[in-house]
Every structure is written in structure tokens, then in C-alpha cells.
A and B are shown apart, each in its own frame.
Chain A
Amino acid sequence: DGGITQSPKYLFRKEGQNVTLSCEQNLNHDAMYWYRQDPGQGLRLIYYSQIVNDFQKGDIAEGYSVSREKKESFPLTVTSAQKNPTAFYLCASSGGLAGTPSTDTQYFGPGTRLTVL
């Protein structure tokens, strides 16, 4: 799991609540990513950020929001607009200079399992 931490490990949300998942990295990586993993569906990209103060929607951004105010941190908020948020959420980062293919390896945190009650 390297130098990426995610918290909490388990999170329970009531209907209508917003919750925020934390992701921190000490790898000095420029890019960070949020994925959602559901059984049999692999990894689906929610949001990604290639540099501080900039981020782009991934394939399933609806009902989620992010911020990238610091290089080390990329928190994900699951809003009440996300109709089916129960899933395993993975944060990743990749580093170095933009456009350098050797730095494209993504390193993952240990994940947060979110359950809606």
C-alpha cells in the first residue's frame, strides 16, 4: 500500500448524509485518482487530478465531489445525490513530471468500505 493512506477503513452512512473519505500521500506524486470497486465490475474512475487545484470527472462522477487544495491530499465526498454508494473506494496516485510514461504507475491506498444503512 506504500505511502498512501485512506481513512476510515470502514464507514457507515445514513440515507441523505454526505460523507467524506480521506486520501493522503507522501510520495510527492502529482496525480491522484479515486476509484469505485463493485463485485464483478472492476475499477471505475470517479475523479482524478493531475495537479494541485485542478481535477477532472471520471466515468462515474455523478453524486461525488472532490477537492485538491494540497498536493498530498485528495478527499472524496459522497453526497446524498449518489443513489447507490455502498462500495469499496480506492485512492491512487502516480508521480513525477506530467507526460513521463515511466511515472504512470499508480500506487493504491488500502481502501475504504462504505456501507449505507
Chain B
Amino acid sequence: AQSVAQPEDQVNVAEGNPLTVKCTYSVSGNPYLFWYVQYPNRGLQFLLKYITGDNLVKGSYGFEAEFNKSQTSFHLKKPSALVSDSALYFCAVRGNAGNNRKLIWGLGTSLAVNP
């Protein structure tokens, strides 16, 4: 069965420090992986995705994520956190088998960046 895990419900970092939000997955075939951010009472905003190619993916707002096939992980990173990065972050995955476009979603990680 396909699944996504975000092992941390909450991550706290100090402003200016690097941040990591973790995501691991289980999927049939090669994965398509996504990160989204949600601010309070808003819809989700797309940050970045991995389909194929370079394992390091760069996205919006200075975020990047590294695809690690052996560890089945796709951790979201940013070198220097901002208070404005405080939000809820979701990882999602779909396998490349078939034509089903459904994404499997993690439960989300709440990021708090402290000034």
C-alpha cells in the first residue's frame, strides 16, 4: 500500500537557523513527490516537486528538498529560516503505476520559527 509519513507533528527552529521537515514514503514504482505549505485558514500552496532527474530540487521561497531513493525520503530544507516560514507543511506522493492521479498525503508538520 502507498503511504507517506511525516514523523514530526511539530518542528521548532530559531530564526536564521537551518530547518528540516522530514518525509518518508512507500509507493509502487518510481515516486512523484510534492511539498506544500498552508498558512492559517488558507488553501495549500505548492512549494516543489520531484518527478525525475536531479535528486536536489529547488522550489519557492528558498526551500529545497532532497530525494533519497535508498532511504525512501524527501526531506524539505531551508538554509536560513524566517519567522514568516511558520506554517503547516504537507508532503504528498503518488506512484507512477497506472493513470490514477490521486496523491497520498502526509498528516502535516507544523513549523514554528522563533524570533
A-B pair count, CB < 8 Å, reads: 59
A111 touches B105 (CB 8 A): no
- Rounded to whole Å, the gap between the CB of B62 and the closest CB of chain A is 19
B106 touches A42 (CB 8 A): yes
A101 touches B32 (CB 8 A): yes
Segment with Cβ contacts to A, from B63-71, B75-83, B94-102: B94-102
Is B45 interfacial (CB 8 A cutoff)? yes
- Rounded to whole Å, the gap between the CB of A33 and the closest CB of chain B is 8
Segment with Cβ contacts to B, from A14-22, A43-51, A67-75, A77-85: A43-51
Size category of the binding interface on chain A:
20 to 34
B90 touches A106 (CB 8 A): no
Chain A 52-74 interface mask (CB, 8 Å, partner B; 1/0): 00000010000000000000000
Interface residues of A (CB under 8 A from B): 1, 4, 6, 31, 40-43, 45, 48, 50, 58, 88, 90, 92, 94, 98-99, 101-102, 104-111, 113
